[in-house]
Chains A and B, each alone.
Chain A
Amino acid sequence: MNTVNQPIPKIDAQALTTGKGVYTDDLAPANCLIVKVLRSPHAFAKIKSIKTDAALKVNGIECVLTYADMPKIRYTLAGQSYPEPSPYDRYILEDIVRYVGDPVAIVAGRDERTVDKALKMIRVKYELLPPVIDFEQALDNPSVIHPEADYFNNFPIGGDVKRNLLASGGHSGGDLDAVFSSCDIVQEETYYTKANAQAMMETFRTYTYLDHNSRLTVVTSTQVPFHCRRQIARALGLPKSAVRVIKPRIGGGFGAKQTLVSEMFPAVVTMRTGRPAKIVYTRQETFAASNSRHQMRVTVKVGAMKDGTIRALDVYALSNAGAYGEHASTTVGLVGSKSIALYTPEAYRFHYDVVYTNTMAGGAFRGYGATQGCFAVESAINQLADRLGLDPAEIRLKNIPKQGAAMPAYLDGPLSSSRLDECIRRGMEMIGWKEKFGICRSDGKTARGVGMAITMQGSGIANIDTCAATIRLNDNGFYTLFIGATDMGTGCDTILAQMAAETLHCPMERITVDGVDTDHSPFDKGSYASGTTYLTGMAVVKACTELCEKIRRQGALKLGISLSQAAFDGDQVVSTLDPAQAIGLEPLAQQLVVGDGEWLQVTATHSSPVSPPPLMAGFADVEVDLGTGKVRVLDYAAVVDCGTVINPNLATVQAQGGIAQGIGMALYEDIQYNPQGKMLNDSFMQYKIPSRLDLPDIRVEFAPSYEPSGPFGAKSIGEVVINTPSPAIASAIFQATGVICRSLPATPEHILLGMAKKQGGAGA
């Protein structure tokens, strides 16, 4: 292969590394009204009155909007295919506020200073309601967070909103009780994972304007332009044809931008005033008034034999949706389906409840529930190995499904491609597992330990995700690849162009990539669920294959030869019988737009009945300071089977970046609230993400299988990479100190207190 599997630099690299103004806020016109939002200081309250007259008198204020000005249309902000499995539980503004940060009023004016002044002059009287902050107290709490009569779901998701129950469900296979009763050992443990902030570097931002046809144009930093268009039209009560969404370069998303966050506010201002409007979220708002990873409690019951054979797995998850239900019923599903399926139990059960609380809504964050499930189930397997006196890596090798195996707990198909066993074996070599595991490595001041975990994700959502691509031969013999997939820094524009170049037998330079503008891009569900490489990639391959055929046909016509005799090698259409009979691509393309020609363009659509899992093994070598409990990750080695690697550089950096976020989740990241529901750590000062001093040189290798249903054998890479650090690091800490971390993050306090308790010391 010439371009696929090559470490090609990103096609937008030059613009990005030289600071060109290519992001939303760089492109917004200077005459935009500045939009800001007055937010609730209370976690749960009814608005008794809002006085806006003084604010409206501030010189330069264009409008101050409250719930009284908003359409009474319930909608969801979740960027999912219709019908969304997320409840329609929001108004743009409502007379009830459900978390500290919920919008109360929208103010637009000439500049930031003017708007800030007006915001301070709005007087709101609240009737305070008792908030539900602790998600373990939410179910059947007397405080009902969504009492509204017009709350609705597109289809049943197992909720009972009067009980604060948003969703419930599960699936099972085999006779669980019978298998448990015949196991040598049955272990049950409960784990906690916290809400984490996606913390992409570019905060949420959007600008809007009316075009010459009075259509609302929304330029926004989003992962889901087409879902954006649909939801904005719904929430504002506009026809879908009246909304156009454009996505420029995005400064990271990690799932945060799979929910609409900033879009509605300037949109409503533009519709009200007819003027361009812009909102740029502060970092504080981005932390405290957007969405996060869902906080969860996961109980894992595992039944096994003394030799390490895992025979039964029973997993229950309680998930905290927060105040609104975006992605709540779907993230929780991955907790079980993407963790249990890594083993081959005779019987399994997975069930879950999702509850509302008066905290910021959860949303999508890389890993999307699989991360929480991975921490719980992998930690449980590590603990099981310890109880049985077995090597945790060997227990995996003994129990993982082989390529071709059915995976009953995974609802999206069999294991069509896997080299997970090789991922584990190679990871063991990289970290020095045999030399380090089970060996006490302490100098009295520090202690070291190694730990490991395995994981899987999906590649798109089976039978739901739909992605299209359009490839066009332009009149000069170069191609334009139109995509609706959203490059958010991941490099999907580049890897899709690589696939196009490979299929069209041409160099990368001959392909320009265009996206995304809902007015001319082909439909794509957007970049989430690890679907872009696998699904949009296949659409690209299909479209380019068909375009090759069209070029061949046109070439044959021009040459006056039969189609069976014509070959297209990327540069020319040539007769297989007489090489002298040939027409170059450029003259052919030129002739096709002069006189009786044909403008060659192909759109292909792809979806998949399966979601083949990428697989991975992660190994951590950590050092614990025995005096302070501080943990340092000294080495992290990961081996990934993402099928064929389309771009080794970009895939490696995806993996390193995902592991870094996973290390943050394992050791630092924890969104905390005070008892009144105010977020305590809504800045980078207080919410620590790993810096370059906190991380080792994360080592990544690939063990590529060949996925028959993927483009060039590829599966996905984007999400699977975040999952292994928390269980691997927790296990390494256990080995170093004997302290079990069942609740993330593994803080120095927990470790130190745990060590003190083990020694029977004070403070335990």
Chain B
Amino acid sequence: MKVKIKVNGKLFDKHIPNDMMLIDFLRKYGFYSVKRGCESSNCGLCTVWVDQKPVLSCSYPAARADGHEVTTLEGVLPEAEVFGRVMASMGAEQCGFCSPGFVMAVLALKREIPNPTEEQAREYLAGNLCRCSGYASQMKAVMQYLKEGYQ
């Protein structure tokens, strides 16, 4: 089938297999930040935005994104770099494989819930698994970043 998907502001007018998932579409066109960690929608690694809302691209048919705007980490870089530096200052990224999906979820949280409590932030980010960090440094980074962002 034919789809028109805008990724990070650039239009991709492509023929795709009907059952192609958004993650495979994005990686095919070079958006390597998008990572697959499972095939059961449990890990959050493949989080991207469709029309500014986070979705799991491993279980989101590319066809559904037809006519919509997709944002990957590559598309929010200046903002992501700021949060990335906060994470790195705490050593929270570790292997980094879950970072892209996690960063997309954090930036979505920032848009969706102004000044969240730590409990709200934990709830919002619960679907983003990390096996390295034990989450404490990640949550510290999130709260510090959001606090600084609202000052």
Contacts and interface: CB of A to CB of B under 8 A. Distances in A.
A201 B45 contact: yes
Given A282-B39, A283-B38, A660-B135, A14 B84 contact: yes
A491 B92 CA distance: 11
B99 to A, nearest CB: 5
A692 B89 contact: no
A19 B83 contact: no
Contacts of B90: 649, 653
A13 interface: yes
Interface string A534-551: 000000000000000000
Contact of B96 (A16, A203, A683, A685): A16
A249 B126 CA distance: 26
A692 B122 contact: yes
A697 B133 CA distance: 11
Contacts of B98: 201, 251
A274 interface: no
A656 B134 contact: yes
B99 A656 contact: no
B32 A683 contact: no
A657 B132 contact: yes
Interface in A554-610: none
Contacts of B100: 19
B69 to A, nearest CB: 18
Contact of B131 (A23, A252, A650, A695): A252
Interface stretch (A4-12, A150-158, A312-320, A475-483): A4-12
Interface string B117-151: 00000110111111111111111000000000000
Given A254-B131, A653-B133, A685-B40, A18 B97 contact: no
Interface in B27-62: 32-35, 37-40, 42-43, 45
B123 A693 contact: yes
Contacts of A23: 35, 97
A202 B97 contact: yes
Given A199-B131, A657-B133, A13 B95 contact: no
Given A7-B91, A691-B126, A692-B126, A16 B135 contact: no
A13 B32 contact: no
A65 interface: no
Nearest to A697: B136
B134 A657 contact: yes
Interface residues of B, number: 53
Contact of B83 (A17, A199, A684, A695): A17
B73 A18 contact: yes
A488 B97 CA distance: 10
A650 B42 contact: no
Nearest to B20: A113
A18 B34 CA distance: 11
A657 B88 contact: no
A18 B79 CA distance: 10
A689 B44 CA distance: 13
Given A10-B93, A16-B96, A656 B136 contact: yes
B87 A684 contact: no
Contacts of B13: none
B112 interface: no
Nearest to A13: B88
A16 B136 contact: no
A530 interface: no
A331 B112 CA distance: 48
Contacts of B38: 283, 683-684
Please name the 8 residue pairs, one residue from A and one from B, whose CB atoms are nearest each other, closest first. A489-B95, A19-B33, A16-B96, A251-B97, A17-B84, A21-B32, A660-B134, A13-B88
B47 to A, nearest CB: 11
A20 interface: yes
A695 B97 contact: no
Given A14-B84, A19-B100, A653-B90, A684 B131 contact: no
A17 B139 contact: no
A23 B94 CA distance: 14
Contacts of B87: 13, 17
B17 interface: yes
Interface string A256-285: 000000000000000000000000001110
Given A199-B131, A656-B134, A18 B84 contact: yes
A201 B126 contact: no
A203 B122 CA distance: 25
B65 interface: no
A202 B134 contact: no
Interface residues of A, number: 55
A16 B40 contact: no
B137 A201 contact: no
A250 B96 CA distance: 9
Tell which of A12, A17, A488 has the most Cβ of chain B within 10 Å: A17
B87 to A, nearest CB: 6
B95 A647 contact: no
Interface string B59-77: 0000000000000111001
A63 B83 CA distance: 46
Contact of A251 (B40, B96, B134): B96
Nearest to A197: B131
A656 B135 CA distance: 8
A653 B123 contact: no
A490 interface: yes
A525 B2 CA distance: 51
A723 interface: no
20 contacts: A7-B89, A13-B84, A13-B85, A14-B81, A14-B85, A17-B81, A17-B87, A17-B93, A17-B99, A18-B81, A19-B33, A113-B17, A252-B131, A283-B37, A660-B135, A684-B38, A685-B40, A685-B42, A691-B127, A692-B135
A12 B89 CA distance: 12
Contact of A490 (B85, B94, B103, B137): B94
Interface in A649-668: 649-650, 652-653, 656-661
B99 A19 contact: yes
A684 B22 CA distance: 21
A698 B95 contact: no
A249 B129 contact: no
A177 interface: no
B108 interface: no
A26 interface: yes
A200 interface: yes
Given A18-B73, A653-B94, A201 B134 contact: no
Nearest to A284: B39
Contact of A489 (B32, B72, B94, B122): B94
B28 to A, nearest CB: 9
A252 B95 contact: yes
A10 B80 contact: no
A397 B132 CA distance: 31
Contact of A695 (B32, B103, B132, B134): B134
Interface in A272-311: 282-284
Tell which of A13, A19, A249 has the most Cβ of chain B within 10 Å: A19
Tell which of B74, B127, B132 has the most Cβ of chain A within 10 Å: B132
A689 B134 CA distance: 11
A713 B104 CA distance: 40
Given A14-B85, A283-B39, 10 more contacts: A9-B89, A17-B84, A17-B88, A23-B35, A201-B98, A491-B94, A650-B91, A660-B133, A689-B131, A693-B126
Tell which of A252, A649, A653 has the most Cβ of chain B within 10 Å: A653
A251 B137 CA distance: 18
A250 B91 contact: no
